Structure 1
Amino acid sequence: MSEQLPVVSLFSGAGGLDLAVERADAEPLATDDPGSGLLRVSVATDYNEPALETLKANFHDTKTLTGDIREVPTDQILATAGLQSADPVLVVGGPPCTPFSKSGFWLEQKRESRDPNASLLDEYVRVVREARPEAFILENVQGLTYKTHKAQFERLLKALGELGYNPQWKVLLAADYGVPQLRRRVFVVGRRDGERFNFPEPTHSGWSEHSRSVDASKIPHVTAAQAFAGLPLLVRASEEEIVDGSYGELAAEIPPGQNYLWHTERYGGRNHFEWRSRYWTFLLRLDPNRPSTTLQAQPGPWVGPFHWENIRTDSDELRARRLRVNEMLRLMSFPDDFKIDGSRADVQRQLGNAVPLELGKAVARALMSQLGYMDRERASRFAAFA
């Protein structure tokens, strides 16, 4: 394209949502299709420099700005990209989800929504107010919509509504859009002209932890085995991949799709744990015939999902293994050649915080179609294809 539409990215992380908007008109589930270049992320911001290094390695034309958003003026963000107020077509981003995630609920301040990072929602509103984009996409964990955080969520919607953007929100399941992962995220989308945004219809269907109903008119959910198809098979695992230690033997004995409950009196393993005494993902193994559970950013040493196949250690013992980088990329529907430096744990931290590519593409594609930048017939054909 001779002229690309500028996008401002906040809380960019590794760039999952950024990649989604730049590939909004790419073929669904075709990770080697970069799209036509309709949208370009002109500037990306984050406080985490390693995450921005990942973004720089994959977005060569994007300017980056490192810093605490609470201390970075909107004018500076726009100037970094050579933009002025009302120039951006989109502002996108997901404020850090720690205050609203299940993983922090044992902390009283998070149960009561007193985590200081919750104020980052207000910073997102501030940039939208001052940058005046044609539209915005905000995403976060489903927990933001829970009763516990009702005050913060309602304040966010009210503030964006007062700017005239008529914000619409919906919790979407990534697997319903072709992502091989049962990951739920809330999206808030608004348009400067006040027109109502309509969320894209799911293209896939299958049973999840919340529902066993399946829409036979849609494509079946993509399974973990389908996602891993074509990846190289390695007999030996690196040391950081091996699930060993206190629960090493127990983890290796758990069948695909099962967790620590296998080793309770109600199942066929050892009677080692009390029934429902641990979190669901404790010693969880992937089921090859279903999408993965949510890929967590900072799991403990015994938190899955682990691969369904065991590996042999140098001492010839069977052990479960953690997912490899190329497998995590597939579960996030990212391109195989997406570059992330660091250890396996560093990669999982960045990918676990990211937006699955195909989920983000579905939302961005619907928005750009409704704004008139994409042909509606073409967008509909994409949806049917996915």
Structure 2
Amino acid sequence: MVDCISIFSGAGGLDAGAQQAGARIVAAIEIDHDSAETLRQNGIGLEQNVLEIDIRQVDFTQWRQQAPSILIGGPPCQPFSKNGYWVRNDNRLIADDPRNMLGQFLRAVSEMQPSGFLFENVDSILHPTNKSSLDGFLAVAEELGYTCTLFRANALDFGIPQRRRRVFVFGIRGKHAQLPDPRPTHTDPVDHKRNADLPHYEGVGRFILPFAGEAFREPQEDASAGTYFEELLNVPPGKNYIALSSLEHYSGRTFRSGGRFWNFLFKLHPEMPSITIAAQPGPWVGPFHWENRRLRVPEIAAIQTFPEGYRFFGSRRSVQRQIGNAVPTLLGRRMIEHLLNHLS
């Protein structure tokens, strides 16, 4: 079994995926109290070894060993710097910038020297204004002795019922050929010629229907007294506010296309994937349930493919943030399985 150190662990979506992939979480490092408690309540970390601490205070040499080991994590990457603020002209790390979370991931790699690592981040890290930061990260990782492979993932392709794009970097210690892309497990029903043998993308229905009963009701789910409830009632499942403009026999308020964010009043359809679960959604940001209510905690957790019964610590707002910021567990499992399959 491969030992795993998790950093920037959050609520443990990636950690739970690592465990499902067969890795042993030796330690999980997370500074946010609610998230750290969530990790503890779900047994993430060997012998409850969750370190609720600023990562800058951690000495990663304590986990340096000859046995196979991996480092996983998705560091906060704001603010991005066009020049890569943590990299000197000679591509060395800068350790004294308090915002330097990409640098802290690289410091962990340098001190721990794992057999491999998995770096996760938002898709916008590939935006032209941020790409140089990622390029700097890759340059330093390679200088540290790792062959890196960049993979842009859509969670839909791996059985998650959610449109969610993320960027992963696979790092393997030593000189190797770059890894092949992880093979998808699902395919787009509209354009499935390349993967005609795979099942189609998952709809949310089978994931969230188990939580439809009264036993799971939450006070926060009721939207009936809100500003846009009448509009929500008329949005068809699988659509957003734009659909109101083309409805027959509808005389209520409509909105100019492009005048709102596309997730405004978005309503789930049970046979279709969800849009991305947000960490801090506004009051009328979807996805809403097709029964015209806000989603319940076990429903958003299920869309993020957390294991059934996974417990979250903190206020309702904190729990939403934890779940929305997490890597979908099944996506984490697929990525870590791919990493483990290619460790020398």
Q: Does the TM-score normalized on the shorter chain lie above 0.5?
A: yes
CA-atom RMSD in angstroms: 2.5
Corresponding position of 2:93: none
Within the candidate set 293, 313, 337, 1:365 is matched to 337
Please show how residues 300-315 of structure 1 align to structure 2 within 5 Å. Answer: 300-309=282-291
1:160 paired to 2:132? no
User: How far did residue 113 of structure 1 move?
Assistant: 8.9
Corresponding position of 1:47: 31
Alpha-carbon contact 1:199-1:363 (below 8 Å) kept: no
Judged with a 3 Å threshold, the aligned counterparts in structure 2 of structure 1 residues 198 and 326 are, in CA distance, closer, same or farther, namely same
Match of 1:276, as an amino acid? Answer: G
Please show how residues 1-386 of structure 1 align to structure 2 within 5 Å. Answer: 4-24=1-21, 38-59=22-43, 61-69=47-55, 71-75=56-60, 79=62, 83-84=63-64, 89-96=69-76, 99=79, 119-195=100-176, 196-206=178-188, 212-214=190-192, 215-234=195-214, 237-243=217-223, 244-264=225-245, 266-268=246-248, 269=250, 270-309=252-291, 320-371=292-343
User: How far did residue 250 of structure 1 move?
Assistant: 1.3
Once residues 126 and 369 of structure 1 are traced to their aligned partners in structure 2, the CA distance between those partners, rounded to angstroms, is 25
SS of the residue corresponding to residue 185 of structure 1 reads strand
Of stretches 154-163 and 267-276 in structure 1, the one that deviates more from structure 2 is 267-276
Match of 1:239, as an amino acid? Answer: P
Judged with a 3 Å threshold, the aligned counterparts in structure 2 of structure 1 residues 127 and 88 are, in CA distance, closer, same or farther, namely farther
User: How far did residue 97 of structure 1 move?
Assistant: 5.0
Alpha-carbon contact 1:99-1:113 (below 8 Å) kept: no
User: How far did residue 181 of structure 1 move?
Assistant: 0.9
SS of the residue corresponding to residue 260 of structure 2 reads coil
Alpha-carbon contact 2:217-2:296 (below 8 Å) kept: no
- Cα deviation digits, residues 107-142 of structure 1 (max 9, x gap): xxx99999x886211110111011100000010111
Corresponding position of 1:104: none
Once residues 231 and 52 of structure 2 are traced to their aligned partners in structure 1, the CA distance between those partners, rounded to angstroms, is 43
Once residues 216 and 222 of structure 1 are traced to their aligned partners in structure 2, the CA distance between those partners, rounded to angstroms, is 15
SS of the residue corresponding to residue 201 of structure 1 reads coil
Once residues 135 and 302 of structure 1 are traced to their aligned partners in structure 2, the CA distance between those partners, rounded to angstroms, is 42
User: How far did residue 325 of structure 1 move?
Assistant: 1.4
Q: Which runs of 5+ in 2 are unaligned?
A: 86-96
Match of 1:154, as an amino acid? Answer: D
Q: Which runs of 5+ in 1 are unaligned?
A: 25-37, 101-109, 310-319, 373-386
Once residues 172 and 340 of structure 2 are traced to their aligned partners in structure 1, the CA distance between those partners, rounded to angstroms, is 11
SS of the residue corresponding to residue 166 of structure 1 reads strand
User: How far did residue 272 of structure 1 move?
Assistant: 2.6
Corresponding position of 2:90: none
Between the two proteins, the alignment pairs up a number of residues equal to 326
TM-score when normalising by structure 1 = 0.78
Judged with a 3 Å threshold, the aligned counterparts in structure 2 of structure 1 residues 235 and 367 are, in CA distance, closer, same or farther, namely closer
Once residues 339 and 119 of structure 1 are traced to their aligned partners in structure 2, the CA distance between those partners, rounded to angstroms, is 31
User: How far did residue 40 of structure 1 move?
Assistant: 1.0
- Cα deviation digits, residues 257-314 of structure 1 (max 9, x gap): 11111233x44443431221011101111121111111011111110001011xxxxx
Match of 2:191, as an amino acid? Answer: S
User: How far did residue 233 of structure 1 move?
Assistant: 2.3
- Cα deviation digits, residues 185-218 of structure 1 (max 9, x gap): 11001101232322311010125xxxx4224321
TM-score when normalising by structure 2 = 0.87
Once residues 157 and 332 of structure 1 are traced to their aligned partners in structure 2, the CA distance between those partners, rounded to angstroms, is 28
Corresponding position of 1:316: none
Alpha-carbon contact 2:83-2:133 (below 8 Å) kept: no
